[in-house]
Chain A
Amino acid sequence: MRLVDLLRTAISNSLRSKLRTSLTVIAIFVGAFTLTMTSAIGTGITSYIGNQVASFGASDVLTVTRTADDQLASRDGPAPYDPDAPTLGGGGFGGGGGGGFAPTPLSDADLGTIAATPGILTVDPIVPIMPSYIQHAGGERFELSVNATAALGRVDLAAGSQLSTDGTRNEIVLPTSYLDALGFENAEAAVGQGVIIGITDYLGVMHEVEAVIVGVQNESLFGSTAALGRQLTDELVAIADTGRPESLRQGYFAATATFDPDAGAEEVTAIKAHLADQGFTAQTVADQIGILQTVIDGVILIFNGFAVIALLAASFGIVNTLLMSVQERTREIGLMKAMGMSGRTVFALFSVEAAFIGFLGSAIGALVAIMIGTLISGILADTVLSGLEGLQVMQFAPASVATIILIVMAIAFFAGTLPARRASRQDPIDALRYE
């Protein structure tokens, strides 16, 4: 039999008993619908997280901290005092050191050690900047929290441009939540406008610094923090350190180290291992956010598990449907075999029929899932999730939808092999005698 004839015959056979076929198709529909939905949620959230990763730091950047002392927790009693250990100044990050989990700060010597690690290009300490307020055009003053690592990364922009890496002016990227408060109509209107940032030095004297808004950032998972350009960061750090006695030089809670952007995964692993040997923990941004991703992946996996169970149940439906067909068409099968159809062709006819039923169920399931998912996703983005800009909960990637359809067809095909085998082994004489 020609392939075209085989496909056509199998399809028309599956449509012969419409009620039975449609019931089986519904069972597959449920599984395919669920799979498509969960995979879309996976794609949506992963792509959102991907944007967040990009906004949090570049991919060639490691955040390096001193590895927490594992023995601390199991040791009976307090740790011995080390007069040479650096202390965290500036507040906020050390948390008082009483928790036992606070990282030991990095000293300038540590920075040298990190810089000497093969593969590391540059090392910059992360210095906490605590500006007092931000103000636009003489308006009200607002508190400003700053993302200390933003100078290195790219942000998810609503308008404007990224921070320049070697800018000579004071640049700032504000989150959209500041727009209203500072009196801007929209994101576009804010770009290019000047703001004033207030910061106190070590002695408590207030200084004001002018900066230009170069971009507006979408709200992110990590809260509404402003990103400062390098020039502005340096200036604010200099002000904050004004008047600080040399003996109170602070350590750094972390440092960022860059490596060759072309480095492969193995090289990055080698760098991390090297740093680990020296008592440092190095993480790429992807590592840090990977934990969140792992949790979401786990939830999606559970949903996929349910979908697969639904598909398994549906595949028994296919077996049942086709067994009935084989029973019904015993004489027809016998006749076709008598007329010289090979057992292989009979097998192919029934398994293709099963795969077609699988295709019907999965294609309709995926299509309906895409329609409903797009609708729900749009509604959610405008209501419940409007705080998380740029988040489309469900994104339907053509490749994954196609994969789901193919997987379901494969499952259906395998379910069909049992009845198909039975049909192909039928003895033409027994079949023709069958009344």
Chain B
Amino acid sequence: MTDTILEARDIHKSYGRGPARFEALTGVSLRVEAGESVAIVGKSGSGKSTLMHLLALLDSPDQGAVAIEGKVAGELSVRQVDRLRNTMFGFVFQQFFLIPSASVLDNVILPLKIARVAPRERHERGMAVLRQLELDDKAANKAVNLSGGQKQRVVIARALINEPRVIFADEPTGNLDTATGRLVEDILFRLNREQGITLVIVTHDTDLAARCDRQVIIRDGTLVAAPEGPLPPVVDPAAAHAGPAVTHA
């Protein structure tokens, strides 16, 4: 009943050369079904961000292959890969990466600009997605003047505007206080539930990981446990101690 939307087949990735060579991933295989929410959990430096980058076609593996809906990314042209990212994926990063001097609306419609969508349609879709995130009254504000929570909502709006099949979120709540972080999580999971958008979330926040359908635990470049299909939340003991602690009130 489900289709595999993302697939990693025995991927290896290393950075640097000689003595500074660092094996980020050593043979990782993973399938993500359309509509599920997957948490990639692990210590910092475990390779979880690298895995996400490879799945999101931001980078290519040294060995192995990444396939999007069965198409092997390595066989696509650069242009096709750019287009795939533009039309299928949305990105939410820990750093907001908003253009501070541009308006909220302009920030949100950037993917549509890249996709050569006409100005009128850009405006309409931009306002629609801002309404959805209750930010339409801030459309003309400069991004720099928003609060952290508002900024992350703008980032989600930007990730949503191209009606993506997958949203990649790298520590989406890392820069937010708990309450705001919780709100942002709610938005993401609602999108997953209501619009069937696949979520791939990189986090070391165990609570956030627990809300996902499935956790993929990565340690020293390999998957520790990658249960196939949706499972009840499992908390990896290692992840509980990982990284800067996220405190909960």
Question: Would you give the 0/1 interface string for B95-121, flagging 1 where the beta carbon is closer than 8 Å to chain A?
Answer: 101010100000000110111100000
Q: In the complex, what residues of B have CB within 8 A of residue A332's CB? A: 97, 99
- Select from chain B the residue with minimum beta-carbon distance to A342: B82
* B114 near A1: Cβ-Cβ < 8 Å: yes
**With an 8 A cutoff between CB atoms, is A429 at the interface?**
yes
Q: Choose the segment among B86-94, B124-132, B232-240 that binds chain A (4+ C-beta atoms closer than 8 Å).
A: B86-94
* A339 near B111: Cβ-Cβ < 8 Å: yes
* B58 near A342: Cβ-Cβ < 8 Å: no
A50 to B79 CA separation, bound complex (whole angstroms):
57
Residues of A138-197 whose CB lies within 8 A of B = none
* B114 near A16: Cβ-Cβ < 8 Å: no
Given contacts A338-B85, A340-B85, contact A331 B97 (CB under 8 A): yes
- Select from chain A the residue with minimum beta-carbon distance to B81: A340
**With an 8 A cutoff between CB atoms, is A345 at the interface?**
yes
Give the dominant DSSP class at A's interface. helix
- Select from chain B the residue with minimum beta-carbon distance to A432: B93
* B82 near A336: Cβ-Cβ < 8 Å: no
* A340 near B111: Cβ-Cβ < 8 Å: yes
Q: In the complex, what residues of A have CB within 8 A of residue B95's CB? A: 331, 432
**With an 8 A cutoff between CB atoms, is B83 at the interface?**
yes
B88 to chain A, nearest CB (A): 9
Q: In the complex, what residues of A have CB within 8 A of residue B115's CB? A: 340
**With an 8 A cutoff between CB atoms, is A313 at the interface?**
no
**With an 8 A cutoff between CB atoms, is A42 at the interface?**
no
Give the dominant DSSP class at B's interface. helix
Checking A336, A342, A427, A428 against B79 with a beta-carbon cut-off of 8 angstroms, the contacting residue is A342
* A428 near B58: Cβ-Cβ < 8 Å: yes
A341 to chain B, nearest CB (A): 5
Q: In the complex, what residues of A have CB within 8 A of residue B78's CB? A: 342-343
Residues of A307-359 whose CB lies within 8 A of B = 331-332, 334-343, 345
**With an 8 A cutoff between CB atoms, is B53 at the interface?**
yes
* A335 near B97: Cβ-Cβ < 8 Å: yes
* B91 near A429: Cβ-Cβ < 8 Å: no
* B114 near A338: Cβ-Cβ < 8 Å: no
Question: Would you give the 0/1 interface string for A31-65, flagging 1 where the beta carbon is closer than 8 Å to chain B?
Answer: 00000000000000000000000000000000000
**With an 8 A cutoff between CB atoms, is A246 at the interface?**
no
* B91 near A339: Cβ-Cβ < 8 Å: yes
* A338 near B91: Cβ-Cβ < 8 Å: yes
A429 to B49 CA separation, bound complex (whole angstroms):
10
**With an 8 A cutoff between CB atoms, is A277 at the interface?**
no
* B101 near A339: Cβ-Cβ < 8 Å: no
Checking A331, A335, A342, A429 against B59 with a beta-carbon cut-off of 8 angstroms, the contacting residue is A429
* A339 near B53: Cβ-Cβ < 8 Å: no
Size bracket, chain B contacts: 20 to 34
- Select from chain B the residue with minimum beta-carbon distance to A331: B97
A343 to B82 CA separation, bound complex (whole angstroms):
9
Q: In the complex, what residues of B have CB within 8 A of residue A75's CB? A: none
A397 to chain B, nearest CB (A): 39
Q: In the complex, what residues of A have CB within 8 A of residue B114's CB? A: 1, 336, 339-341, 345
**With an 8 A cutoff between CB atoms, is A5 at the interface?**
yes
* A340 near B58: Cβ-Cβ < 8 Å: no
* B58 near A1: Cβ-Cβ < 8 Å: no
- Select from chain A the residue with minimum beta-carbon distance to B99: A332
A331 to B99 CA separation, bound complex (whole angstroms):
9
* A429 near B82: Cβ-Cβ < 8 Å: no
- Select from chain A the residue with minimum beta-carbon distance to B97: A335
- Select from chain B the residue with minimum beta-carbon distance to A3: B116
* A339 near B85: Cβ-Cβ < 8 Å: yes
A229 to B18 CA separation, bound complex (whole angstroms):
95
A1 to B82 CA separation, bound complex (whole angstroms):
12
Q: In the complex, what residues of B have CB within 8 A of residue A339's CB? A: 85-86, 91, 110-111, 114
Q: In the complex, what residues of A have CB within 8 A of residue B93's CB? A: 432
Checking B83, B87, B113 against A5 with a beta-carbon cut-off of 8 angstroms, the contacting residue is B113
- Select from chain B the residue with minimum beta-carbon distance to A427: B59
A326 to B220 CA separation, bound complex (whole angstroms):
34
Given contacts A429-B53, A432-B97, contact A340 B86 (CB under 8 A): yes
B129 to chain A, nearest CB (A): 15
Given contacts A331-B97, A429-B58, contact A340 B87 (CB under 8 A): yes
> Most chain-B CB neighbours within 10 Å: which of A336, A339, A429?
A339
A28 to B86 CA separation, bound complex (whole angstroms):
38
Q: In the complex, what residues of A have CB within 8 A of residue B53's CB? A: 429
A342 to B115 CA separation, bound complex (whole angstroms):
11
Q: In the complex, what residues of B have CB within 8 A of residue A340's CB? A: 82-87, 111, 114-115
Q: In the complex, what residues of B have CB within 8 A of residue A342's CB? A: 78-79, 82
Q: In the complex, what residues of A have CB within 8 A of residue B97's CB? A: 331-332, 334-335, 432
A308 to B208 CA separation, bound complex (whole angstroms):
62
Given contacts A331-B97, A336-B110, contact A341 B116 (CB under 8 A): no
Given contacts A339-B86, A429-B58, contact A1 B101 (CB under 8 A): no
Checking B58, B87, B116 against A338 with a beta-carbon cut-off of 8 angstroms, the contacting residue is B58
- Select from chain A the residue with minimum beta-carbon distance to B115: A340
- Select from chain B the residue with minimum beta-carbon distance to A341: B114
A99 to B79 CA separation, bound complex (whole angstroms):
80
Using a CB–CB distance below 8 Å, which chain B residues touch chain A? 53, 56, 58-59, 78-79, 82-87, 91, 93, 95, 97, 99, 101, 110-111, 113-116
Known: A332-B99, A340-B115. 12 other contacts (CB 8 A): A1-B113, A2-B116, A334-B97, A336-B110, A338-B56, A339-B86, A339-B114, A340-B84, A340-B85, A341-B86, A342-B79, A429-B59
Using a CB–CB distance below 8 Å, which chain A residues touch chain B? 1-2, 5, 9, 16, 331-332, 334-343, 345, 427-429, 432
Closest 9 CB pairs of A and B: A340-B86, A340-B85, A335-B97, A340-B82, A341-B114, A339-B111, A5-B113, A342-B82, A2-B116
Instruction: List 20 A-B residue pairs with CB atoms under 8 Å apart, sorted by A's residue number.
Output: A1-B114, A2-B116, A5-B113, A335-B91, A335-B97, A338-B56, A339-B85, A339-B114, A340-B82, A340-B83, A340-B85, A340-B111, A340-B115, A341-B114, A342-B78, A345-B114, A429-B53, A429-B59, A432-B93, A432-B97
